[in-house]
Chain A
Amino acid sequence: MNTAESFAELPVTPKPPLRRFHQARWDEPIIFELSRPGRRGLAVPEPGAARVELPESVRRAEPPRLPELSQQLVLRHYLRLSQENLGADLNVDVGQGTCTMKYSPKVNDRFAAAVAEVHPLQHEDTVQGVLEIYWRLERMLAEISGLSRVSLQPGSGSAAIYANIAMIRAYHAATGGGARDQVITTMFSHPSNAACAKTAGYEVITLMPDADGLPDIEALRAAVGPRTAALMITNPEDTGIFNPRIQEFVDLVHEAGGLACYDQANANGILGITRARDAGFDLCHFNLHKTFSTPHACGGPAAGACGVSAELAPFLPGPVVTRDGDAYRLETPPRSIGKIRPFLGVTPNIVRAYAWIMALGGDGLRQVAETAALNNNYLMHKVLQIRGASAPWGRRRIEQVRYSWQELSEETGVHSEEIGVRAADFGVHYWTSHHPYVVPEPFTLEPTESYTKEDLDEYAAILAHVAEEARRDPELVKGAPYNQTIHKIDPTPLDDPKAWAPTWRAYVRKHRP
Chain B
Amino acid sequence: MTHPYIPNAEPGVRAEMLAAIGARDVEEFYADIPAGLRLDRPLDLPPALTAEHDLARHMKGLLDRVTDTEQALSFLGHGCYPHHVPAVCDEVNSRSEFLTAYAGEPYEDHGRFQALFEYVSMMGELLEMDVVNVPTYDGFQAAGTALRMACRHTGRSKVLVSAAVSADKLSKLRDFLAPDIEIVLAPVGDGGEITVPAFDAAFAAIYLETPNVYGVVETRGRELADLAHAHGALLVVGADPISLGVLAPPAAYGADIACGDIQSLGMHQSHGGGHAGYIATHDHEPLVAEFPSRLFGIAPTKVPGEYGFGDVFYDRTSFAHREEGKEWVGTAAALWGITAGVYLALLGPHGLRELGETILARTRYAMDALARSVTVLHPDAIHFREFAIEVPSSSALLDALRERGIYGGVPLDARTVLVCVTERHSIADIDRLAAAVQEVL
Contacts and interface: CB of A to CB of B under 8 A. Distances in A.
B72 interface: yes
Contacts of B28: 396
B8 A497 contact: no
B33 to A, nearest CB: 5
A270 to B, nearest CB: 8
Please tell me the size bucket of the interface on B.
35 or more
Contacts of B44: 143, 362
Contact of B248 (A61, A484, A491): A61
Interface string A261-272: 000000001111
Contacts of A503: 117, 120-121, 123-124, 130-132
B249 A279 contact: no
A472 interface: no
Interface string B45-61: 11111101001101100
Closest 9 pairs (CB-CB, A-B): A361-B48, A343-B272, A85-B111, A41-B346, A129-B65, A120-B272, A158-B330, A195-B318, A362-B43
A442 interface: no
Contacts of A507: 297-298
Interface string B72-101: 101010111010111010011011111111
Contact of B72 (A28, A86, A126, A376): A126
Contacts of A279: 37
A297 B137 CA distance: 13
A490 B140 CA distance: 36
A343 B66 CA distance: 17
7 contacts: A44-B84, A86-B109, A104-B100, A120-B80, A272-B42, A371-B6, A449-B9
Contacts of A481: 107
Contacts of A118: 66, 68-69, 269-271
Given A82-B111, A341-B141, A347-B272, A241 B299 contact: no
B82 A119 contact: yes
B147 interface: no
A66 B118 CA distance: 10
Nearest to B210: A58
A55 B88 contact: no
A338 B178 CA distance: 12
B226 interface: no
Given A41-B351, A272-B43, A502-B120, A484 B107 contact: yes
A278 B34 CA distance: 11
A275 B39 contact: yes
B313 A338 contact: no
A75 B331 contact: no
Contact of B331 (A194, A300, A362, A374): A300
A54 to B, nearest CB: 7
B252 to A, nearest CB: 7
A49 B347 contact: no
A158 B96 CA distance: 24
B199 interface: no
Contacts of B105: 420-421, 424, 429
Nearest to A298: B334
B108 A367 contact: no
Interface stretch (A252-260, A351-359, A402-410): A351-359
A351 B270 CA distance: 11
Nearest to B365: A49
Given A28-B114, A32-B121, A144-B43, A82 B95 contact: yes
A150 to B, nearest CB: 14
Given A342-B169, A396-B32, 16 more contacts: A41-B347, A52-B363, A59-B248, A61-B252, A66-B345, A82-B98, A84-B111, A86-B109, A112-B273, A130-B271, A155-B332, A242-B32, A243-B32, A270-B33, A278-B39, A495-B313
A399 to B, nearest CB: 9
A15 interface: no
Contact of A49 (B141, B303, B364): B364
B335 A300 contact: yes
Nearest to A104: B100
Interface in B214-237: 217-222
B43 A365 contact: yes
B355 interface: yes
B130 to A, nearest CB: 4
Contacts of A360: 3, 5, 48, 50
Nearest to A154: B137
Contacts of A17: none
Contact of A273 (B38, B97, B315): B38
Interface in B107-139: 107-112, 114-118, 120-126, 128, 130-132, 134-135, 137-139
A107 interface: yes
A87 B344 CA distance: 24
| Residue from A43, A195, A371 having most chain B Cβ neighbours under 10 A | A195
B313 A342 contact: no
A487 B110 CA distance: 10
A435 B310 contact: no
B419 to A, nearest CB: 12
A325 to B, nearest CB: 15
B98 A494 contact: no
Contact of A359 (B39, B50, B134, B270): B50
A505 B123 CA distance: 10
Contacts of B98: 82, 85, 87, 297-298
Given A342-B79, A489-B300, A502-B312, A45 B358 contact: yes
Interface in A74-123: 74-75, 77-90, 93, 96, 99, 101-105, 107, 109-112, 114-123
A342 B80 contact: yes
A47 B358 contact: yes
A116 B270 contact: yes
Contacts of A41: 86, 88, 345-348, 351
A155 B88 contact: no
Interface stretch (A2-10, A199-207, A216-224): A199-207
